[in-house]
Amino acid sequence: MSTLADRPALVRAAGCALWRPGDAGTVETAVVHRPKYDDWSLPKGKPDRGEHLLETAHREVVEETGLDVVLGRRSVRTCYEVRGADGRPAPKEVDYWTARWTGGGFAPNDEVDELRWLPVADASALCSHDHDRAVLADLARTDVPRMPALILVRHGHAGHRGDWDGPDDLRPLDERGWREARRLAQVLPLFGPVAVASAERTRCRQTVEPLADALGTDVQSLPELGEEEFAADPQAGLAVVERLLTPRVEPGVTVVCSQGGAIPSVLLSLGVRWEGVAGRLYPPAAKGSVWVLGGRPGRLSADYYRDLEPDPAARDAELS
């Protein structure tokens, strides 16, 4: 009988399905040739220490292609078998995101010696592996957008209401909340934020202040998406969300920090359900969590990130 110690460790990796607008409304995607394997594939790689897989996906694109990209919606996770360091077969999972090219040009390097921009169908035919073709099939979908327009952030941890001697609107982030805020400022720029806004609560504004500072912008006030304000006039709040979800010609998102009483209600109004369970009415919105949204009800992409802490696989790799 095998034990857990006998089983090969899961290999984690992340990458992107790159795209750019082609002629007459078509989409082109980039595939790369890896001389080490003599195959045509998609840019991807293993996480470094301290990385969330979002960061891994973006870094690998930059390192392998030299292109500038903005991350989009979560794509598929591919699963297949590779040869481990000990020579035994090991399971591998690769998480992909869509990513729009925004500039830069390819230069051959040790990992990739050629890059081709092709229509998706031609790129799929060129790819050497079926799991890459599955990613490109997802890129070609037209029922949901490739790029988001809005990121909803639940404010970070702010202690307990009963321990705060003052108006609740002024309750600040605690030490954990500030760590969450700084982490958001590290990762959310990968989505290309163009504006940062917040409900009128100190803990909400503080959660996105480090991000705004990193972007060189101010935190705009968005009272309609505060918890009490949304409960009093949900139509006004939903009108704001509808406006912020308007598709953009250029990539980029608006980041809005709100509260746990407003975000799930907004998501429910947009048709977001959690894990397909009818009995659970409200989608989750943990403190410091992120929802990345694009499209409209019925054609909505909605990706939930419980937190943006480094991927456990990156930490485990340091111990192996």
Q: Answer for the pair 313, 12: CB distance below 8 angstroms, yes or no.
A: yes
Q: Answer for the pair 299, 73: CB distance below 8 angstroms, yes or no.
A: no
pLDDT per residue over 245-274, tens digit each? 998 888 999 999 999 999 999 999 999 987
Residue 279 confidence (pLDDT) above 70: no
Q: Answer for the pair 52, 311: CB distance below 8 angstroms, yes or no.
A: yes
In a 3-state reduction of DSSP, which class is residue 122? helix
pLDDT per residue over 32-79, tens digit each? 999 999 999 999 999 999 999 999 999 999 999 999 999 999 999 999
What is the share, in percent, of the chain residues with pLDDT greater than 90? 82
Name the burial class of residue 73, with classes exposed (0-12), middle (13-18) and buried (19+) by CB atoms within 10 angstroms of its CB: buried
Q: Which helix (H) or strand (E) holds 1?
A: none
Beta strands 219-221 and 193-198, pairing class: parallel
- Global pTM? 0.93
Single-letter amino acid, residue 211 = L
What is the share, in percent, of the chain residues with pLDDT greater than 70? 93
Distance CA 58, CA 70 (A): 8
Q: Answer for the pair 19, 99: CB distance below 8 angstroms, yes or no.
A: yes
Residue keyed to tokens 């990762």 = 187
Structure tokens at 191: 């989505």
Beta strands 11-21 and 193-198, pairing class: unpaired
Question: How would residue 162 be classed by pLDDT, with cut points 50, 70 and 90?
Answer: confident
Single-letter amino acid, residue 81 = E
Q: What is the largest CA-CA distance in the chain?
A: 65
| Numbered ranges of CATH 3.40.50.1240 in the chain | 150-305
The Cα-based distances of 112 to 34, 65, 204 in angstroms read 5, 7, 43
> Nearest-CA neighbor of 136 among 276, 19, 54?
19
150-305: CATH topology is Rossmann fold (3.40.50)
| Numbered ranges of CATH 3.90.79.10 in the chain | 4-142
pLDDT at 320: 26
The mean of the pLDDT values for the chain is 92
In a 3-state reduction of DSSP, which class is residue 193? strand
Q: Answer for the pair 156, 178: CB distance below 8 angstroms, yes or no.
A: yes
4-142: CATH topology is Nucleoside Triphosphate Pyrophosphohydrolase (3.90.79)
pLDDT at 281: 73
Q: Which residues neighbour 263 within 8 Å (Cβ) at sequence distance 6 or greater? A: 152, 154, 285, 291
The Cα-based distances of 158 to 6, 155, 166, 175, 205 in angstroms read 43, 8, 13, 8, 12
